[in-house]
């Protein structure tokens, strides 16, 4: 068994810290995330408020915990939509080919030519703001990348001897695709999912920063950064906490992905 690269270990620690904070935030926070106390407005970090308070006197630690939970859930569902739909389309078009493959791949290439966030912005503009619409929009935006990866791998796998033997044995096409071939793509899919999750976290933060994601008063790391920009001089802790959470999660995922590539 190969030893884990140092970068992967560092990445696992960083991601684990944010994930634990996010999971705890789903069930418990030190304070009510929307409880306001104007006597503590923009208070510096202290024993009772380790990350300080915001311009409404709300506890930043509590809001960061629930904001991380929100980002984690949205990113997970987003990648799930992109991975499931993209894998099915990529696997079927890559294996069967034909006119359907030609048409779908032209559509996929056209969508892939645009940044995912831009596609999501267009969808949000049509569907409206909100957590559910954000998940759907980002999920659709991530489908083309999974289609391209899975289809490319399927084109290689279907020419291998074990697939040709299955055809000679008259194994069902769908069984061959989803039972015999797809498990062999697990390594590639894991890497794609890690990268997709990293991009989903950044996309969600960016959309919420623009006011197109999680709606107030629910906390979001991206929205907290947006709200904090007016207080950078005399209350920098307002932006530091959510910014560090986003940085740790995305950088940590990058380290994990890079470490896995080194082990291959």
Angle 51-56-60 from CA coordinates, rounded to 5°? 20
Tokens of 185: 């793509």
Q: Is 98 left (phi over 0), alpha (psi -120 to 50) or beta?
A: left
Q: How far is CA 232 from CA 33, 86, 222, in A?
A: 21, 41, 15
C-alpha to C-alpha distance for 25 and 18, rounded to whole angstroms: 10
Is residue 74 included in any domain, yes or no? yes
pLDDT at site 259: 67
Share of the chain above pLDDT 90, in %: 40
Digit-coded pLDDT (tens) for 167-195: 888 778 888 888 889 988 988 898 899 88
Is residue 37 included in any domain, yes or no? no
**Structural domain containing residue 226:** 6-25+58-263
Least confident of 77-81, 91-95, 114-118, 160-164: 114-118
Count the neighbouring beta carbons within 10 Å of the beta carbon of residue 254. 17
Least confident of 206-210, 214-218, 239-243: 214-218
Is residue 111 included in any domain, yes or no? yes
Is residue 49 included in any domain, yes or no? no
- Confidence grade of residue 44 (pLDDT, cut at 50, 70, 90): very high
Is residue 52 included in any domain, yes or no? no
Digit-coded pLDDT (tens) for 4-29: 778 888 889 999 999 999 999 989 99
Least confident of 4-8, 105-109, 185-189, 205-209: 4-8
In whole numbers, what is the pLDDT of the chain averaged over residues? Answer: 88
> Can you tell me whether residue 32 is helix, strand or coil?
coil
pLDDT at site 120: 86
CB 5 within 8 A of CB 262: yes
pLDDT at site 115: 78
Residue 152 sits in a domain whose CATH number is 1.10.3720.10
pLDDT at site 169: 83
Q: How many domains are contained in the chain?
A: 1
Count the neighbouring beta carbons within 10 Å of the beta carbon of residue 24. 14
Q: Does pLDDT of 51 surpass 90?
A: yes
Through-space distance between the first and last CA atoms of the chain, rounded to whole angstroms: 11
Q: Does pLDDT of 99 surpass 90?
A: no
Q: Does pLDDT of 160 surpass 90?
A: no
Alpha helices (runs of H) in the chain, residue ranges in sequence order: 6-27, 60-96, 98-112, 116-127, 131-157, 161-168, 173-175, 186-209, 221-228, 237-263
Is residue 185 included in any domain, yes or no? yes
Is residue 33 included in any domain, yes or no? no
Q: Which of 197, 172, 185 is nearest to 87 (CA)?
A: 185
Is residue 245 included in any domain, yes or no? yes
Q: Does pLDDT of 123 surpass 90?
A: no
Q: Does pLDDT of 2 surpass 80?
A: no
pLDDT at site 263: 58
Q: What is the pTM of this model?
A: 0.87
Count the neighbouring beta carbons within 10 Å of the beta carbon of residue 250. 20
CB 7 within 8 A of CB 258: yes
Q: Does pLDDT of 264 surpass 60?
A: no
Q: Is 52 left (phi over 0), alpha (psi -120 to 50) or beta?
A: left
C-alpha to C-alpha distance for 95 and 92, rounded to whole angstroms: 5
- What residues contact 20, with CB distance under 8 A and at least 6 apart? none
């Amino acid at each position: 068994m190969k030893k884990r690269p140092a970068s992967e270990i560092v990445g696992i620690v960083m991601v684990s810290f944010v994930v634990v904070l996010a999971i705890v935030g789903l069930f418990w926070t030190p304070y009510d995330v929307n409880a306001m106390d104007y006597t503590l407005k923009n208070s510096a970090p202290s024993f009772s408020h380790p990350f300080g308070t915001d311009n409404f006197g709300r506890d930043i630690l509590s809001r960061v915990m629930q904001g991380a939970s929100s980002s984690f859930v949205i990113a997970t569902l987003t990648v799930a939509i992109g991975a499931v739909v993209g894998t099915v389309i990529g696997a079927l078009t890559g294996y069967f080919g034909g006119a359907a493959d030609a048409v779908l791949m032209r559509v996929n290439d056209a969508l892939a030519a645009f940044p995912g966030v831009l596609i999501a912005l267009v969808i949000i503009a049509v569907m409206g703001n909100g957590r559910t619409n954000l998940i759907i929009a980002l999920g659709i935006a991530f489908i083309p990348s999974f289609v391209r990866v899975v289809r490319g791998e399927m084109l290689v796998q279907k020419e291998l001897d074990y697939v040709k033997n299955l055809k000679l044995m008259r194994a069902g096409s769908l069984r061959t695709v989803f039972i015999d071939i797809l498990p062999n793509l697990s390594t590639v899919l894991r890497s794609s999912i890690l990268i997709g999750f990293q991009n989903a976290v950044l996309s969600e933060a960016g959309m919420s920063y623009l006011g197109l994601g999680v709606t107030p008063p629910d906390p979001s790391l991206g929205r907290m950064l947006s709200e904090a920009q007016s207080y950078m001089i005399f209350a920098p802790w307002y932006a530091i906490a959510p910014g560090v959470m986003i940085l740790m999660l995305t950088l940590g995922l990058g380290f994990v992905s890079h470490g896995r590539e080194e082990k291959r």
